[in-house]
Amino acid sequence: MIFGKYINRYYLKHAPVLLLGILSLLTVDYIQLLIPELYRLVINGVNLGQVVVDGQTMAFTKEVLFQHICLPMIYIVVLMVIGRFLWRVCFFGSAVRVAADLREQMFDHSRQLSQQYYQVNKVGNLMSLYTNDLDTIQECFGDGILMFFDASVLGILALVKMWRMDIKLTLLALIPAAVMFAIGTVMSQVMTKRWEERQQAFSDLSDFAQENFSGIAVIKAFVKELKELMAFRKLNKENEEINVTYTKIATLLEVLVTLFVESVICVILGYGGWLVYRGQFNAGQLVEYIGYFEAIVWPIMAISMLIEKTARGKASLNRITELLDAPIDVADRDGVADLKNPRGGIEFRHLNFRYPDGEYDILKDISFTIAPGESVGIVGKTGAGKTALVDLLLRTYNVPDGTLFVDGQDVNTVSIHSVRNACA
């Protein structure tokens, strides 16, 4: 599960559906733990010729097998199928709606950001935000809720049953779990950092490709194909190295979890077999105990996956938060009115302007007037400021007060939408 300023409200918004999914999940977890008890009845029935059901000892006959083992197993399977379908719809359906809503929110905010933001944040970075990062948020939201509740509830219920059967054996089985939890906590911090580097590498690669495709004519005209190929190869190599590093860490975590599972199985078979030899357990009880442990194998795997997904989700949510927190530099002031009945009069008065990240003014003391209906051509060499003049008229950048007027009104005193609509 991931939490943050722009994700927390969705847990409340989708609370009814999520609660229904959690209820279905808990039901499945509870009835799933009834299966090892049926295993015990079968094993004891085969070995001893009798079974104990509800405190009563019965001969192991076909009727007992069908009534007390087969029928309950059929009910359990049917309920598990229905419950699993229901929580999948609830969790994953909510995750899809969360991603769609976040995408709408991001797009709406992106429309209001000024040109200054897009000079710093290129197209490749935005592509990564709207694809990889949003997909990660969707995955972490649905899978995160599933893994958190499934691992905690199923794991606790199974451990309680294991504890009741034999305390010492359960304590021995929990030692590797404590070690794995400590290692996973440390690795999650490393994985968060590596995932951010991975997403940034993808952004840089997308930026480079987009700029080359859009400027291919210039590249060919100046015979710069080899230079661009070398630069592209370098970016690909960096992207490959970062992805390999992240994959190594994720794989190491999976190996550690597998090592934990196998080590615990060795403990159960070894010490549990000794208990059977001493007569403290029978074969059916040992099989039942192993069944409970197999029930917590998924929670153990889920913990490692949850650590990885949470690390990825935090990194992606941080990147999305940066976009949604980006300030809207060019915005209407409070109380501005729309430009009424535009006629087309334009006047610049001693205007000076430099780009937000510029080091010097590109327009200095610009003053001229264009009367309504008049056609004026603006000429000059590259970089002279022709485009900047039009950008200022369209309010792509902020304009100093008292320097640009439309129909005699300062552009800062009328709404941006009405000015742009009039220009269109």
Whether the domain at 8-325 and the domain at 346-423 fall into the same CATH topology = no
Q: Tokens for 356?
A: 């937000």
What DSSP letter does each residue of 249-308 carry, written as one string? HHHHHHHHHHHHHHHHHHHHHHHHHHHHHHTSS-HHHHHHHHHHHHHHHHHHHHHHHHHH
* C-alpha triplet 78, 83, 87: angle, nearest 5°: 155
CB atoms within 10 A of CB 120: 10
Please tell me the distance from the alpha carbon of residue 176 to that of residue 267, in angstroms, as a whole number: 10
Provide, for the chain, the percentages of residues in helix, strand and coil under a 3-state DSSP scheme, each rounded to the nearest 5. 75, 5, 20
Query: What torsion do the CA atoms of 170, 251, 141, 5 make, to the nearest 10 degrees?
Result: 100
Closest CA to 148 of 307, 375, 383, 38: 307
Centre a 10 Å sphere on the Cβ of residue 266 and count the other Cβ atoms it contains: 10
pLDDT in tens, the chain (424 residues): 777 788 888 888 999 999 999 999 989 888 888 888 888 888 878 877 777 777 778 788 888 888 888 888 899 999 999 999 999 999 999 999 999 999 999 999 988 887 778 777 777 778 888 888 888 898 888 888 888 888 788 878 888 888 888 788 788 777 766 776 677 667 777 777 787 788 778 878 887 887 888 888 888 888 888 888 998 899 899 888 888 988 888 888 778 777 777 777 777 778 777 877 777 777 777 787 777 877 777 676 677 677 777 877 888 888 888 889 888 877 777 878 888 888 888 888 998 888 877 788 888 888 999 998 888 888 888 888 888 888 888 888 888 888 889 888 888 888 888 888 888 6
What is the residue type of 213?
F
Provide the token pair at 64: 């007992």
CA 422, distance to chain mean position in Å, is 41
Residue with tokens 């649905």: 142
Question: Which CATH topology does 346-423 take?
Answer: Rossmann fold (3.40.50)
With CA atoms as reference, report the closest residue to 329 among 122, 120, 125: 120
What residue segments make up the domains of the chain, in order of their start?
Answer: 8-325, 346-423
Which parts of 166-224 fold into alpha helices (H)? Answer: 167-214, 216-221
Rounded to 5°, the CA angle 126-131-417 comes to: 45
Q: How many CB atoms lie within 10 A of CB 322?
A: 12
pTM, rounded to two decimals: 0.69
3-state SS class at 372: coil
42 vs 145, 158, 265, 267, 275, CA distance in Å? 35, 20, 22, 24, 20
In the Cβ-directed half-sphere of 83, how many Cα atoms lie within 13 Å?
19
Q: Look at the domain 8-325 and name its fold.
A: ABC transporter transmembrane region fold (1.20.1560)
